[in-house]
Amino acid sequence: MFVPRKILEEKLRQILMEDIGQGDVTAQAIIPPNLEIKGVVIAKEEGTAAGIEETTILAEYLGLKVKTQVFDGEKIRNKQVLMEISGDAQTMLTAERTMLNLLSRMSGIATITRTLTDKLRTVGAKTKIAATRKSAPGLLYFDKKAITVGNGDPHRLHLDDMILIKDNHIAILGSPEEAVKKAKSNASFTKKIEVEVTKSSDALKVAQAGADVIMLDNFSIEQVKNTVALLEKAGLLGKIILEVSGGITAKNIMDYSMAKVDIISMGALTQSVKALDISLEIAEK
Protein backbone atom coordinates (compact mmCIF):
# COMPACT_ATOMS: atom_id res chain seq x y z
CA MET A 1 0.00 0.00 0.00
CA PHE A 2 2.70 2.51 -0.89
CA VAL A 3 1.08 5.88 -1.54
CA PRO A 4 3.09 8.93 -2.59
CA ARG A 5 3.12 11.68 -0.03
CA LYS A 6 1.15 14.06 -2.25
CA ILE A 7 -1.77 11.68 -2.45
CA LEU A 8 -1.75 11.32 1.33
CA GLU A 9 -1.65 15.10 1.75
CA GLU A 10 -4.94 15.36 -0.10
CA LYS A 11 -6.60 12.66 2.04
CA LEU A 12 -5.36 14.40 5.18
CA ARG A 13 -6.43 17.84 3.96
CA GLN A 14 -10.00 16.60 3.61
CA ILE A 15 -10.01 15.24 7.14
CA LEU A 16 -8.62 18.49 8.50
CA MET A 17 -11.12 20.55 6.54
CA GLU A 18 -14.07 18.83 8.17
CA ASP A 19 -12.72 19.81 11.56
CA ILE A 20 -12.01 23.41 10.58
CA GLY A 21 -15.27 24.34 8.89
CA GLN A 22 -15.26 28.10 8.28
CA GLY A 23 -12.21 28.55 10.49
CA ASP A 24 -10.84 28.06 13.99
CA VAL A 25 -12.54 30.87 15.91
CA THR A 26 -10.51 30.28 19.05
CA ALA A 27 -7.11 30.50 17.41
CA GLN A 28 -8.32 33.59 15.56
CA ALA A 29 -9.61 35.32 18.67
CA ILE A 30 -6.79 34.73 21.12
CA ILE A 31 -3.60 33.48 19.48
CA PRO A 32 -1.38 36.09 17.82
CA PRO A 33 -0.53 35.48 14.18
CA ASN A 34 3.03 34.56 13.24
CA LEU A 35 3.92 33.38 16.74
CA GLU A 36 6.46 30.55 16.68
CA ILE A 37 5.96 27.79 19.22
CA LYS A 38 7.21 24.30 19.85
CA GLY A 39 5.08 21.39 20.94
CA VAL A 40 5.87 17.83 21.89
CA VAL A 41 3.66 14.87 21.16
CA ILE A 42 3.73 12.56 24.15
CA ALA A 43 2.36 9.08 24.74
CA LYS A 44 0.28 8.79 27.89
CA GLU A 45 0.41 5.01 27.90
CA GLU A 46 2.59 2.31 26.37
CA GLY A 47 1.89 0.70 23.03
CA THR A 48 3.04 0.58 19.42
CA ALA A 49 3.42 3.79 17.44
CA ALA A 50 1.47 4.22 14.21
CA GLY A 51 0.39 7.28 12.28
CA ILE A 52 3.75 8.96 12.80
CA GLU A 53 4.24 9.14 9.04
CA GLU A 54 0.75 10.48 8.36
CA THR A 55 0.93 13.06 11.15
CA THR A 56 4.31 14.22 9.95
CA ILE A 57 3.03 14.60 6.42
CA LEU A 58 0.04 16.62 7.61
CA ALA A 59 2.14 18.87 9.83
CA GLU A 60 4.77 19.48 7.18
CA TYR A 61 2.08 20.07 4.57
CA LEU A 62 0.78 22.87 6.79
CA GLY A 63 4.25 24.40 7.03
CA LEU A 64 5.17 23.08 10.48
CA LYS A 65 8.55 21.50 11.19
CA VAL A 66 8.67 18.00 12.63
CA LYS A 67 11.36 16.01 14.41
CA THR A 68 10.13 12.47 14.80
CA GLN A 69 11.54 10.59 17.78
CA VAL A 70 10.04 7.20 17.00
CA PHE A 71 9.21 5.32 13.85
CA ASP A 72 5.96 3.69 12.95
CA GLY A 73 5.98 0.20 14.40
CA GLU A 74 8.26 1.03 17.31
CA LYS A 75 7.22 0.12 20.86
CA ILE A 76 6.61 3.24 22.93
CA ARG A 77 6.62 3.82 26.70
CA ASN A 78 4.28 5.91 28.78
CA LYS A 79 5.49 9.56 28.78
CA GLN A 80 7.73 8.99 25.76
CA VAL A 81 8.05 11.91 23.35
CA LEU A 82 6.98 10.75 19.89
CA MET A 83 7.64 13.88 17.91
CA GLU A 84 8.49 17.56 18.28
CA ILE A 85 6.54 19.99 16.18
CA SER A 86 7.45 23.62 15.75
CA GLY A 87 6.07 26.53 13.82
CA ASP A 88 3.13 28.89 13.64
CA ALA A 89 1.00 28.71 16.79
CA GLN A 90 -2.39 29.24 15.13
CA THR A 91 -1.67 26.52 12.60
CA MET A 92 -0.44 24.04 15.17
CA LEU A 93 -3.41 24.53 17.49
CA THR A 94 -5.88 24.34 14.60
CA ALA A 95 -4.42 21.03 13.46
CA GLU A 96 -3.72 19.60 16.93
CA ARG A 97 -6.85 17.51 17.34
CA THR A 98 -6.75 16.11 13.79
CA MET A 99 -3.14 15.07 14.25
CA LEU A 100 -3.86 13.46 17.62
CA ASN A 101 -6.97 11.70 16.33
CA LEU A 102 -4.88 10.11 13.58
CA LEU A 103 -2.09 9.11 15.94
CA SER A 104 -4.39 7.79 18.67
CA ARG A 105 -6.56 5.67 16.43
CA MET A 106 -3.73 4.28 14.32
CA SER A 107 -1.53 3.59 17.35
CA GLY A 108 -4.46 1.94 19.10
CA ILE A 109 -4.95 -0.40 16.16
CA ALA A 110 -1.24 -1.13 15.84
CA THR A 111 -0.90 -1.78 19.54
CA ILE A 112 -3.49 -4.53 19.81
CA THR A 113 -2.34 -6.06 16.51
CA ARG A 114 1.25 -6.12 17.65
CA THR A 115 0.38 -7.45 21.09
CA LEU A 116 -1.49 -10.41 19.65
CA THR A 117 1.15 -11.05 17.02
CA ASP A 118 3.93 -11.00 19.58
CA LYS A 119 1.98 -13.39 21.76
CA LEU A 120 1.77 -15.84 18.86
CA ARG A 121 5.47 -15.44 18.11
CA THR A 122 6.46 -16.27 21.70
CA VAL A 123 5.41 -19.85 21.06
CA GLY A 124 6.87 -19.88 17.59
CA ALA A 125 3.56 -19.79 15.75
CA LYS A 126 3.72 -18.27 12.27
CA THR A 127 0.01 -17.54 12.23
CA LYS A 128 -0.73 -14.02 11.10
CA ILE A 129 -3.24 -11.64 12.63
CA ALA A 130 -5.31 -10.08 9.85
CA ALA A 131 -7.75 -7.21 9.51
CA THR A 132 -11.17 -7.32 7.88
CA ARG A 133 -13.16 -4.60 6.08
CA LYS A 134 -14.92 -3.79 9.34
CA SER A 135 -13.25 -0.39 9.63
CA ALA A 136 -14.62 2.97 10.60
CA PRO A 137 -16.54 4.24 7.55
CA GLY A 138 -14.18 5.78 5.02
CA LEU A 139 -11.03 4.95 6.97
CA LEU A 140 -9.98 1.73 5.24
CA TYR A 141 -6.65 3.16 4.16
CA PHE A 142 -5.58 4.41 7.58
CA ASP A 143 -6.96 1.38 9.43
CA LYS A 144 -5.25 -1.12 7.11
CA LYS A 145 -2.01 0.84 7.28
CA ALA A 146 -2.12 0.69 11.09
CA ILE A 147 -2.68 -3.08 10.96
CA THR A 148 0.42 -3.42 8.79
CA VAL A 149 2.44 -1.25 11.15
CA GLY A 150 1.43 -3.62 13.95
CA ASN A 151 2.83 -6.58 11.97
CA GLY A 152 -0.62 -7.73 10.92
CA ASP A 153 -1.88 -8.54 7.45
CA PRO A 154 -4.21 -5.94 5.92
CA HIS A 155 -6.32 -8.58 4.16
CA ARG A 156 -8.41 -7.20 1.26
CA LEU A 157 -7.79 -3.47 0.80
CA HIS A 158 -11.27 -3.04 -0.61
CA LEU A 159 -13.67 -4.84 -2.91
CA ASP A 160 -11.50 -4.94 -6.02
CA ASP A 161 -8.44 -6.85 -4.98
CA MET A 162 -9.61 -10.38 -4.19
CA ILE A 163 -12.58 -12.64 -4.67
CA LEU A 164 -14.04 -13.25 -1.23
CA ILE A 165 -17.18 -15.39 -1.25
CA LYS A 166 -19.11 -14.86 1.96
CA ASP A 167 -22.23 -16.25 3.59
CA ASN A 168 -24.57 -13.97 1.68
CA HIS A 169 -23.06 -14.83 -1.68
CA ILE A 170 -23.48 -18.50 -0.87
CA ALA A 171 -27.06 -17.96 0.31
CA ILE A 172 -27.76 -16.75 -3.23
CA LEU A 173 -25.73 -19.33 -5.13
CA GLY A 174 -26.70 -22.42 -3.15
CA SER A 175 -23.41 -24.00 -2.24
CA PRO A 176 -19.86 -22.85 -1.57
CA GLU A 177 -18.31 -25.13 -4.16
CA GLU A 178 -20.77 -23.88 -6.76
CA ALA A 179 -19.67 -20.36 -5.93
CA VAL A 180 -16.00 -21.28 -6.20
CA LYS A 181 -16.54 -22.89 -9.58
CA LYS A 182 -18.34 -19.83 -10.86
CA ALA A 183 -15.57 -17.58 -9.55
CA LYS A 184 -12.85 -19.75 -11.12
CA SER A 185 -14.58 -19.47 -14.44
CA ASN A 186 -15.42 -15.75 -14.37
CA ALA A 187 -12.78 -14.00 -12.34
CA SER A 188 -9.53 -12.57 -13.63
CA PHE A 189 -6.52 -14.85 -13.29
CA THR A 190 -4.92 -12.10 -11.22
CA LYS A 191 -7.20 -12.63 -8.23
CA LYS A 192 -7.05 -15.17 -5.47
CA ILE A 193 -10.32 -16.78 -4.48
CA GLU A 194 -11.29 -17.07 -0.86
CA VAL A 195 -14.47 -18.64 0.42
CA GLU A 196 -16.13 -18.65 3.81
CA VAL A 197 -17.40 -22.02 5.06
CA THR A 198 -19.36 -23.08 8.10
CA LYS A 199 -18.58 -26.80 8.17
CA SER A 200 -15.53 -28.99 7.67
CA SER A 201 -17.05 -30.88 4.79
CA ASP A 202 -17.54 -27.63 2.88
CA ALA A 203 -13.94 -26.74 3.53
CA LEU A 204 -12.87 -29.90 1.78
CA LYS A 205 -15.23 -29.33 -1.12
CA VAL A 206 -14.09 -25.79 -1.80
CA ALA A 207 -10.47 -26.83 -1.54
CA GLN A 208 -11.12 -29.46 -4.15
CA ALA A 209 -12.96 -26.90 -6.28
CA GLY A 210 -9.82 -24.79 -6.37
CA ALA A 211 -10.19 -22.07 -3.73
CA ASP A 212 -6.93 -20.39 -2.75
CA VAL A 213 -8.00 -19.49 0.78
CA ILE A 214 -10.66 -20.97 3.07
CA MET A 215 -12.19 -18.93 5.84
CA LEU A 216 -13.44 -21.11 8.67
CA ASP A 217 -16.26 -19.04 10.07
CA ASN A 218 -16.90 -19.34 13.80
CA PHE A 219 -15.21 -22.75 14.03
CA SER A 220 -14.40 -24.18 17.44
CA ILE A 221 -10.89 -25.48 17.98
CA GLU A 222 -12.26 -28.97 17.52
CA GLN A 223 -13.82 -28.06 14.20
CA VAL A 224 -10.61 -26.50 13.03
CA LYS A 225 -8.69 -29.65 13.93
CA ASN A 226 -11.21 -31.83 12.11
CA THR A 227 -10.93 -29.63 9.04
CA VAL A 228 -7.17 -29.79 9.08
CA ALA A 229 -7.35 -33.57 9.34
CA LEU A 230 -9.76 -33.79 6.43
CA LEU A 231 -7.57 -31.61 4.23
CA GLU A 232 -4.46 -33.51 5.23
CA LYS A 233 -6.10 -36.79 4.30
CA ALA A 234 -7.03 -35.35 0.90
CA GLY A 235 -3.47 -34.17 0.37
CA LEU A 236 -4.56 -30.56 0.28
CA LEU A 237 -3.02 -29.29 3.51
CA GLY A 238 -0.33 -26.76 2.77
CA LYS A 239 -1.70 -26.13 -0.69
CA ILE A 240 -4.42 -23.88 0.54
CA ILE A 241 -4.38 -21.05 3.05
CA LEU A 242 -6.52 -21.52 6.16
CA GLU A 243 -8.08 -18.50 7.84
CA VAL A 244 -10.21 -18.57 10.96
CA SER A 245 -12.57 -15.77 11.88
CA GLY A 246 -15.22 -15.23 14.53
CA GLY A 247 -15.18 -15.95 18.23
CA ILE A 248 -11.47 -15.53 18.61
CA THR A 249 -10.28 -13.63 21.65
CA ALA A 250 -7.00 -12.83 23.33
CA LYS A 251 -7.66 -15.85 25.51
CA ASN A 252 -8.21 -18.59 22.97
CA ILE A 253 -6.01 -17.19 20.25
CA MET A 254 -3.08 -19.43 21.23
CA ASP A 255 -5.18 -22.52 20.80
CA TYR A 256 -6.17 -21.48 17.29
CA SER A 257 -2.61 -20.71 16.33
CA MET A 258 -1.61 -24.18 17.50
CA ALA A 259 -4.20 -25.70 15.19
CA LYS A 260 -2.19 -25.08 12.02
CA VAL A 261 -4.25 -22.17 10.74
CA ASP A 262 -2.35 -19.58 8.72
CA ILE A 263 -4.46 -16.52 9.38
CA ILE A 264 -6.59 -15.31 12.25
CA SER A 265 -8.74 -12.37 11.16
CA MET A 266 -10.53 -10.18 13.68
CA GLY A 267 -13.06 -7.45 12.88
CA ALA A 268 -12.68 -5.92 16.30
CA LEU A 269 -9.14 -4.73 15.48
CA THR A 270 -10.52 -1.88 13.42
CA GLN A 271 -14.16 -1.81 14.42
CA SER A 272 -13.82 -1.58 18.19
CA VAL A 273 -10.61 0.37 18.50
CA LYS A 274 -9.26 1.44 21.87
CA ALA A 275 -7.41 4.64 21.01
CA LEU A 276 -3.95 5.05 22.47
CA ASP A 277 -3.78 8.07 24.78
CA ILE A 278 -1.49 10.62 23.14
CA SER A 279 -1.36 14.35 23.65
CA LEU A 280 0.36 17.50 22.44
CA GLU A 281 1.97 19.83 24.93
CA ILE A 282 3.32 23.25 24.20
CA ALA A 283 6.97 23.11 25.18
CA GLU A 284 8.19 26.57 24.26
CA LYS A 285 6.93 29.81 22.90
User: Which residues are annotated as catalytic?
Assistant: 97, 134, 166, 196, 217
Contact, 89 vs 32, CB < 8 A? yes
Q: Which stretch binds a second copy (CB under 8 A): 30-38, 112-120, 202-210, 228-236?
A: 30-38
Contact, 217 vs 167, CB < 8 A? yes
Residues 194-233, mask of contacts with a second copy (x by CB under 8 A): x------------------x--------------------
In the list 48, 56, 104, 111, the residue contacting a second copy (rule: CB under 8 A) is: 104
Q: E strands along 69-133, which residues? A: 75-76, 81-88, 128-130
Cα 178 to its chain centre, rounded Å, is 31
Smallest gap from residue 29 Cβ to a second copy (A): 4
26 binds a second copy (CB under 8 A): yes
5 binds a second copy (CB under 8 A): yes
Q: Which stretch binds a second copy (CB under 8 A): 61-69, 119-127, 200-208, 219-227?
A: 61-69
Smallest gap from residue 141 Cβ to a second copy (A): 6
Smallest gap from residue 45 Cβ to a second copy (A): 12
What's the CA gap between 217 and 200, in Å, rounded?
A: 10
Site residues (CB under 8 A) for a second copy, limited to 38-57:
39
134 binds a second copy (CB under 8 A): yes
Residue closest to 215 by CA, chosen among 258, 145, 163, 150 = 163
Site residues (CB under 8 A) for a second copy, limited to 226-285:
241, 262-263, 268, 271-275, 280-282, 285
Cβ distance to a second copy smaller for residue 63 or 123 = 63
Residues 153-172, mask of contacts with a second copy (x by CB under 8 A): xxxxxxxxxxxxx-xxx-xx
Smallest gap from residue 104 Cβ to a second copy (A): 6
Cβ distance to a second copy smaller for residue 75 or 239 = 239
Q: Which stretch binds a second copy (CB under 8 A): 1-9, 117-125, 226-234, 251-259?
A: 1-9
Smallest gap from residue 248 Cβ to a second copy (A): 14
Q: Is 235 left (phi over 0), alpha (psi -120 to 50) or beta?
A: left
Task: State the Cα angle at 112 between 221 and 136, rounded to 5°.
Answer: 100
Contact, 187 vs 164, CB < 8 A? no
Instruction: Tell me the three state secondary structure of residue 84.
Output: strand
What's the CA gap between 285 and 279, in Å, rounded?
A: 18
Residue 170 to residues 179, 184, 193, 202: CA-CA distances in angstroms?
Answer: 7, 15, 14, 12
Cβ distance to a second copy smaller for residue 76 or 196 = 196
Smallest gap from residue 21 Cβ to a second copy (A): 4
Question: Would you list the DSSP string of 122-168?
Answer: HTT--PEEE--S--STT-HHHHHHHHHHTT-B---SSTTS-EEE-HH
Site residues (CB under 8 A) for a second copy, limited to 64-93:
89-91, 93
